[in-house]
C-alpha cells in the first residue's frame, strides 16, 4: 500500500527544509501547505508567545470515513525541529540502502521520518479507500529544546482517545511504553571571598564546597529506573581570589515519581551538609520539566500497535525509555500515548542515517494502526 518512491522523495524534500530548533517558521509553512492540500483541517495554537519558538504547534485533522464515525479518535505526533547542525542538509541515498547527510550536518530523520510517514498515511488511506476514524496529526515546535512546544501547549487543545508519538530510537515495531519524569536542578553555592595568596584562610571557596557536595551525591545510574547528571559547573574569577560563587545546573530522571523526589532530596542534602561543614550557603531549586508515563501490553493502545506490527511480520518489543518526548506531555494531559520506534540511527550527530526499508516500515505501521483503530468502536 505504501508508495516507496513517493515516501522517500517526500522525506528527502522535508530534510532539506531548514528547521533547527526554535527556528521552525519555514518548515511550519511547508507543513501547513502539504497537509492542507491533502484535505485536512489545519489549526495552530499560540504557543510561540510562551515557547520563544518561531512557529506554533500545528494540528491537522483528517475526518472519519462515513462507516467509522463511532471509531475512537486517535492522534499521531512528531516534532518539526531538528538539532544543530541542521542548516543546508544535503541528503544522499547510499548503495547500502541508507539515507545520510553529506557528513557536515545531521540528517533530520529525527523527526522528519515520522512526518513523512504521516503524509504517506493520509495518501494511502485516501487512495485505497481504507475506512478510518478521526485522525489528528500534531506536529510540535521546539521539541529538541526541552519539549518547548508541547510544554507551552494549552491543555485540552488536543482531544483524542489515545495516540502515538513517532519519535523513538530502536527497531521499527518496538514500542516505548514507559518514559521518565524529569526535573532540572539549579544550585548556587555561596562562599566568601579573600586574597588567595595573602589570607586564603579568611575565605570560603565556593568551588571547594560545590566539589564536596557533588562528590557526595548519587549520580549517573542510580538504579534501573533512575539517573542523575550535572551538565554545568560554572565559576569564573582570578586565581588570586578565593571563589565566592558557583552555579550548578543538572537533572534527575526516574520512571517512578517517588524515586525522583528521593533523588532530588539526596542532592539537596549533599549541598546543605557540605555548606554546613565549611560555613557556606546554598540555594537549591528544581523544575519539573515533564511527567513520566508507564504502560504494559494490557493497555488497549499498546495492544493495537502490537497487532499492527505483527500483521507486518514484525516482532514488537516493549521497552522503557530513558529519554523524554512529547509523549510525556500528552500523557500528562490525560491522553494515553506511547512512542513508536522509527529505526533511525546515530541521531543528534552528523553520522545520522536511516534505512529506506525502515522508512517504509514506519509508514506501513502507522497505516496499520489507523486501519485497526477504524475497526474499533468507542
Active-site annotation, residues = 81, 143
Compute the distance between CA of residue 192 and CA of residue 190 in angstroms, rounded to an integer. Answer: 7
User: What is the DSSP track for 16-31?
Assistant: TS--BTT--HHHHHHH
- Cell 522523495, residue? 9
Closest by alpha carbon to 188, among 230, 255, 247, 135?
247
Q: At 43, give phi and psi (nearest 5°).
A: -135, 150
SS3 267: helix
**How many CA atoms lie less than 13 Å away from 258 in the CB half-sphere?**
0
Compute the distance between CA of residue 64 and CA of residue 120 in angstroms, rounded to an integer. Answer: 17
Angle between helices 109-128 and 356-374 (to 10 degrees): 50
SS3 364: helix
Q: At 325, give phi and psi (nearest 5°).
A: -155, 180
Write the secondary structure of 67-112 as one string of H (helix), E (strand) and C (coil). HHCCCCCEEEEEECCECCCCCCCCCEECCCCEEECCCCCCCCHHHH
Q: At 233, give phi and psi (nearest 5°).
A: -135, 100
Amino acid at each position: 500500500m505504501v508508495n516507496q518512491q513517493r515516501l522517500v522523495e517526500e522525506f528527502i524534500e522535508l530534510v532539506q527544509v531548514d528547521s533547527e530548533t526554535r527556528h521552525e517558521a519555514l518548515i511550519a509553512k511547508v507543513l501547513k501547505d502539504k497537509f492542507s492540500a491533502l484535505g485536512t483541517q489545519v489549526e495552530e495554537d499560540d504557543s510561540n508567545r510562551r515557547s520563544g519558538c518561531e512557529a506554533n504547534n500545528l494540528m491537522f485533522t483528517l475526518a472519519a470515513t462515513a462507516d467509522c464515525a463511532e471509531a475512537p479518535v486517535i492522534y499521531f505526533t512528531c516534532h518539526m525541529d531538528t538539532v544543530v547542525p541542521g542548516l543546508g542538509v544535503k541528503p544522499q541515498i547510499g548503495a547500502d540502502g541508507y539515507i545520510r547527510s553529506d557528513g557536515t550536518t545531521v540528517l533530520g530523520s529525527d523527526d522528519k521520518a515520522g512526518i513523512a510517514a504521516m503524509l504517506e498515511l493520509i495518501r494511502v488511506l485516501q487512495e485505497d479507500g481504507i475506512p478510518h476514524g478521526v485522525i489528528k496529526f500534531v506536529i510540535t515546535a521546539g521539541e529538541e529544546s526541552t519539549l518547548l512546544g508541547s510544554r507551552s501547549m494549552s491543555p485540552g487543545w488536543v482531544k483524542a482517545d489515545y495516540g502515538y508519538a513517532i519519535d523513538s530510537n530502536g527497531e521499527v515495531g518496538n514500542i516505548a511504553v514507559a518514559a521518565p519524569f524529569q526535573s532540572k536542578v539549579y544550585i548556587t553555592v555561596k562562599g566568601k571571598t579573600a586574597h588567595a595568596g595573602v589570607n586564603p584562610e579568611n575565605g570560603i571557596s565556593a568551588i571547594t564546597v560545590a566539589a564536596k557536595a557533588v562528590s557526595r551525591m548519587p549520580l549517573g545510574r542510580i538504579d534501573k529506573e533512575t539517573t542523575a547528571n550535572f551538565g554545568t559547573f560554572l565559576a569564573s574569577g582570578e586565581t588570586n581570589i578565593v571563589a565566592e560563587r558557583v552555579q550548578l545546573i543538572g537533572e534527575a530522571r526516574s520512571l517512578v515519581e517517588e524515586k525522583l523526589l528521593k533523588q532530588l532530596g539526596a542532592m539537596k542534602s549533599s549541598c546543605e551538609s557540605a555548606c554546613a561543614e565549611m560555613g557556606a550557603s546554598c540555594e537549591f531549586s528544581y523544575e519539573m520539566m515533564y511527567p513520566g508515563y508507564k504502560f504494559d501490553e494490557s493497555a488497549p493502545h499498546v495492544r493495537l500497535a502490537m497487532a499492527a506490527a505483527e500483521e507486518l511480520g514484525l516482532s514488537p518489543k516493549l521497552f522503557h525509555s530513558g529519554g523524554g518526548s512529547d509523549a510525556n506531555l500528552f500523557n500528562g494531559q490525560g491522553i494515553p500515548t506511547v512512542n513508536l520506534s522509527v529505526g533511525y540511527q546515530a541521531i543528534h550527530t552528523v553520522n545520522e542515517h536511516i534505512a529506506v526499508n525502515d522508512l517504509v516500515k514506519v509508514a506501513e505501521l502507522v497505516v496499520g494502526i489507523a486501519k485497526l483503530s477504524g475497526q474499533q468502536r468507542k
